[in-house]
């Protein structure tokens, strides 16, 4: 009621100030008749939407409701919070629930956050096509990625998924392992050269402080460029690849980009161009540039393939050979894969080394495991790659770090038809929050140690081998790559790349936080990374 009254008072005073601006308008019979009618209608509207519908009529009225919420925008602020996810996590921890918590959306409409295995499974798997990305979110992504897999819905999405799945299968990822391993070794070499610059010339075990966050992004961009197109952006060594530069700009944590994208999601497209014209134009220019550069790269690639007649393992060659795609479609897919697949893996790496820097004991055991099984000698790359997949601690660290800091921290869906979750009727238009970060840290799903870094939970104590659930009672407790029809198509790709990167890095370096007291400030446009980078004190491991 307090909200309704507050909003009503604000509106009434706004209307009356507006009308008074027309001078003696308030003296006219029209005003005398109109203003009480307007006030009464507005009051009834608010009374119904803020008091009657949610508490006495809504089919969701018996669900627990998150505390707080602001007038007009309800809990929507939590979507854009910096650092992200704080309030969603608080709701899930403090509001007793059986899989659904009700939140307030704009103007006191209802939205839901899903919190247990059953509700997650229903929204993402069994009823996945009842819940689509919201039109505003899709149009914002469309602006950047075109008509790729992340943006499409319904039959077009089903079709795209079917024809793209084969490029990310087990065999295809195996073929790309040499790319992942080669780039992982270059990454360690670049860091080594940075340590050598900071150490005396004759130092056997060079050491120094390096911000690994931008380097991880360069490395992931170079890797995805090679794996997708066979084109080496080579951003690890220099910064003059035009497409590489565009992606660096778009993916670096930046509050202005976040602000423009948030405005795009909340309001009509023109609002951002009026409120933040410079940044909005810059984003448009970069999007157009990335599209043009992708198109050029595609033409060049087609011409080279025709001239040489050679087969290469990259995904673009296979797409071109299949003759199933127009140039426009291939450009959309390339933009989507590069965007979805580079900053995510870079973020995963950065959070993993953060945990290892904070847990020297685990770091040491991991190095011992890697060194006992993986040789950095390029001549032994095949054995290195196949043994990495089975190393229990390496895979446990990877899983545990992805659990605590899932690079894609939150997704949203909107019911596109009247449907239900856990038997509760969900009306068309209702928003559903799928917060991967919160699901992965929920004490209900992971127990009292949910927020602790314990890689061992991913190792079966009896067999010493990796397990699939991390000790949680359901696979749905881990939302890092999502589930069902819209789960991450690049999961196998990402894991293989991340595994290679981490193995080569931990093999070579010992690490601790440059500032042991630093608590990284999490920020992200679409993926979460530490705002101020990840400065590590590194030393070549003896
Ligand atoms: C650690 C790395 C990665 C993480 C944590 C991750 C996570 C995710 C998540 C959570 C989704 C679902 C998003 C949603 O429901 O809206 C997703 C979708 C997707 N991911 Fe990944 N991803 C990673 C790496 C990759 C890579 C390497 C690629 C490609 C090479 C990729 C391509 C995609 C695509 C195309 C989709 C959309 C799938 C669809 O809607 O059908 N991702 N990813």
- Pairing between strand 509-513 and 431-435? unpaired
Mapped onto helix, strand or coil, the DSSP state of residue 80 is helix
Chain segment 475-513, per-residue pLDDT in tens: 999 999 999 999 999 999 999 999 999 999 999 999 999
pTM: 0.91
- Distance separating alpha carbons of residues 372 and 165, to the nearest angstrom: 35
Dist. CA 469 → ligand 1 center (Å):
19
Chain segment 318-367, per-residue pLDDT in tens: 999 999 999 999 999 999 999 899 899 999 999 999 999 999 999 999 99
Mean pLDDT score across all residues of the chain? 91
Nearest atom in ligand 1 to the alpha carbon of residue 224 is 30
Mean pLDDT of 303-313: 84
| pLDDT value of residue 21 | 57
The residues lining ligand 1, judged by C-beta closer than 6 Å to any ligand atom, are: 149-150, 161, 336-337, 340-341, 344-345, 348, 406-408, 411, 436, 480-482, 486, 488-490, 493-494, 498
488 is known to lie in a ligand binding site: yes
**Is the alpha carbon torsion for 15, 19, 25, 30 positive or negative?**
negative
Would you say 222 and 238 are in contact if contact means Cβ atoms under 8 Å apart?
Answer: no
DSSP symbols for 464-500: -SB-SSTT-SSGGG--TT--GGGS-TTHHHHHHHHHH
Q: pLDDT-derived band of residue 2, with 50, 70 and 90 as boundaries?
A: very low
DSSP symbols for 202-214: T-SS-EEEEEHHH
Comparing 380 with 398, which gets the higher pLDDT? 398
Comparing 13 with 323, which gets the higher pLDDT? 323
Nearest CA to ligand 1 atom 6: 481
Among 165, 397, 488, 524, which residue has the most ligand 1 atoms within 8 Å of its CB, making it the best to mutate?
Answer: 488
Strand partners, 414: 132, 431
Dist. CA 341 → ligand 1 center (Å):
7
Tokens representing 60? Answer: 């969701």
Q: Which fold has domain 158-408+480-540?
A: Cytochrome p450 (1.10.630)
Closest of 195, 193, 187 to residue 216, by C-alpha = 187
Q: How many helices (H) and strands (E) does the chain have?
A: 20, 12
Domain boundaries along the sequence of the chain:
1-57, 158-408+480-540
ipTM for the complex shown: 0.99
Mapped onto helix, strand or coil, the DSSP state of residue 23 is helix
Among 340, 351, 403, 479, which residue has the most ligand 1 atoms within 8 Å of its CB, making it the best to mutate?
Answer: 340
Dist. CA 149 → ligand 1 center (Å):
10
| pLDDT value of residue 513 | 98
> SS3 string of 163-192?
HHHHHHCHHHHHHHHHHHHHHHHHHHHHHH
| pLDDT value of residue 13 | 55
Does pLDDT of 258 surpass 50? yes
Nearest atom in ligand 1 to the alpha carbon of residue 485 is 41
- Distance separating alpha carbons of residues 454 and 456, to the nearest angstrom: 5
């Amino acid at each position: 009621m307090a909200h309704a009254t507050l909003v009503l008072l604000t509106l009434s005073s706004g209307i009356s100030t507006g009308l008074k601006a027309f001078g003696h308008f308030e003296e006219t019979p029209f005003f005398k008749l109109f203003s009480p009618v307007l006030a009464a209608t507005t009051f009834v509207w608010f009374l119904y939407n803020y008091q009657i519908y949610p508490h006495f009529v809504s089919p969701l009225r018996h669900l627990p409701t998150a505390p707080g919420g602001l007038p007009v925008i309800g809990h929507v602020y939590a979507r854009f919070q910096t650092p992200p996810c704080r309030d969603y996590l608080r709701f899930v921890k403090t509001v007793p629930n059986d899989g659904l918590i009700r939140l307030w959306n704009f103007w006191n409409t209802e939205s839901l956050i899903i919190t247990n295995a059953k509700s997650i499974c229903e929204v993402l798997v069994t009823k996945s096509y009842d819940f689509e990305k919201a039109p505003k979110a899709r149009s914002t992504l469309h602006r950047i990625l075109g008509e790729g897999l992340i943006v499409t819905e319904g039959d077009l999405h089903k079709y795209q998924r079917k024809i793209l799945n084969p490029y990310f299968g087990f065999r295809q990822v195996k073929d790309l392992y040499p790319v992942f391993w080669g780039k992982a070794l270059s990454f360690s070499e670049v860091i080594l050269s940075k340590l050598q610059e900071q150490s005396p010339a004759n130092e056997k075990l060079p050491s120094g402080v390096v911000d690994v966050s931008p380097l991880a992004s360069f490395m992931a961009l170079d890797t995805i460029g090679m794996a997708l197109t066979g084109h080496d952006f080579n951003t690890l060594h220099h910064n003059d690849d035009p497409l590489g530069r565009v992606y660096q700009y778009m993916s670096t944590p930046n509050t202005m980009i976040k602000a423009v994208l948030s405005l795009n999601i909340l309001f009509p497209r023109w609002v951002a161009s009026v409120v933040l014209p410079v940044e909005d134009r810059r984003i448009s220019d970069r999007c157009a540039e990335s599209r043009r550069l992708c198109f050029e790269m595609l033409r060049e690639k087609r011409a080279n393939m025709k001239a040489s007649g050679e087969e290469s393992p990259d995904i673009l060659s296979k797409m071109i050979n299949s003759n199933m795609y127009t140039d426009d479609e291939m450009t959309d897919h390339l933009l989507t894969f590069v965007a979805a697949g580079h900053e995510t893996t870079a973020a995963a790496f950065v959070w993993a080394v953060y945990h290892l820097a904070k847990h020297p004991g685990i770091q040491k055991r991991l190095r011992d495991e890697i060194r006992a099984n993986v040789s950095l000698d390029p001549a032994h790359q095949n054995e290195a790659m196949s043994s990495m997949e089975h190393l229990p601690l390496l895979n446990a660290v990877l899983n545990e770090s992805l659990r605590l800091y899932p690079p894609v921290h939150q997704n949203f869906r909107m019911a596109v038809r009247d449907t239900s979750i856990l038997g509760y009727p969900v009306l068309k238009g209702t928003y559903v929050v799928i917060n991967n970060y919160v699901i992965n840290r929920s004490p209900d799903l992971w127990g009292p140690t949910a927020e602790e870094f314990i890689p061992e939970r991913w190792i079966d104590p009896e067999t010493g081998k990796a397990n699939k659930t991390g000790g949680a009672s359901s696979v749905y407790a881990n939302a890092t790559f999502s589930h069902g029809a819209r789960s991450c198509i690049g999961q196998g790709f990402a894991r293989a790349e991340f595994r290679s990167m981490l193995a080569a890095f931990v093999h070579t370096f010992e690490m601790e936080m440059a500032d042991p007291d630093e608590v990284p400030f999490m920020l992200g446009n679409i993926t979460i990374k530490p705002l101020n980078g990840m400065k590590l004190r590194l030393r070549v491991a003896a």
